[in-house]
Structure 1
Amino acid sequence: MAKNGAGEEDAAVLDVLLDRYGRTYAAEAGIKLADQPKPLYQLLVLATLLSARISAEVAVAAAKELFAAGYGTPKGMREASWQDRVDALGRGHYRRYDERTATMLGDGAALAMDRWKGDLRRLRDEAGGDERRIADLLMEFPGIGPTGADIFLREVQAVWPQVAPHLDRRVLDGAAKLGLPRQAGPLAELAHSGAELARLSAALVRVSRSKKSADAVRSAAAGR
């Protein structure tokens, strides 16, 4: 059955896409995303790690190591020594950028605590819930540029309806590879909720990086 007014072909593609690739990066990193300070900060850390020229798998593994070591809050991250952060990143094989990233994470944790009391909901409120202003404030964190802000916003739209739909160029490129709408409005209408929109965004990012994956999704959808 078609979803949200989508044609049967789009609905079939969507079903296969979400089934195969529809896991957010936050979920992969073990973040139970909610509109609460701790998971929001953890998402910021993950976005920082994903921003580097390193595989998503390594970034997720490094995030898990940081959180397991007790650095999943701004206080924990700031109080950890620089070497402790380097070591945790190394255990996640995040080695090319470990020293620089350890510094950025420490400085970012201090900024989060000093300016927003460790609560990124305060950042959102300072921006008046405006997506572009939120992005601008996120980019004040060391290691977060336009790419990192997009990563954070793609995932946080599951719990921050103010920023939904956030469908950046990489997401729309993935949609084009599957023959789905390449306009944000029509593409967003395929999702039932902010949570599904975040899953759809993550899936389309993965497909945007792999023609083989895109072809496999289209082939499986055509066979339904």
Structure 2
Amino acid sequence: MARYRDALCKLCRRDGEKLFLKGGRCTTDKCAIDKRKYPPGQHGQRRGKLSDYAVQLKEKQKVKRIYGLLEKQFSKYFKEAEKKKGITGELLLQFLERRLDNIVYRIGFTSNRNQARQLVLHGHFRVNGKKVNIPSYNVKVGDVIAVHEASKKLNVFGENLQRQQHEGVLSWLEVDFAGYKGKVLHVPSRDDIPLTAKEQLIVEFYSR
């Protein structure tokens, strides 16, 4: 599958804000956007006012990058959200939040979504006791996500869970730090999703 392989920090600079694609590094003085608060490229410091279309496109691209998706995947989620009753933008974010790689990240097993995707692909997690190695797997309410018993010895899980325990857990998740597992309590509302995004702009982009 095609995947973005250039420097992740360029994506943050392009959007003009931290997307936290590198986890903890984004909160240190090594963060590229703190050093260069302008888009990458030869004309990065000379870009003018954006059109309405450009603003909508930029917001869509930002959310797509945060969750690490390609255009085909992202538009598929939007079409599914559009078919359901409710607020399309909020439903879109709910679909994205319930991806297995995102849940793994939100629980605190990993420091960022890229790491989560890689560890899911390598088969380090179990959903309700069964091996699932598909990052896009749709986690349902009541599902229990756990680190495979043989994988618990890896330092990455202990270190990340210790950090997450200090930072706290989202209200729609329950985490057993000692047991290396978490549970989805309910579908997150918009207020439950810590994401600085204007999803209505995404709806407007696809509704053109």
TM interval, shorter chain, is 0.3 to 0.5
* TM-score, normalising length: structure 1: 0.32
Q: Higher strand fraction: Structure 1 or Structure 2?
A: 2
Q: Higher helix fraction: Structure 1 or Structure 2?
A: 1
Higher-RCO chain (CA-CA 8 Å, sequence separation at least 6): 1
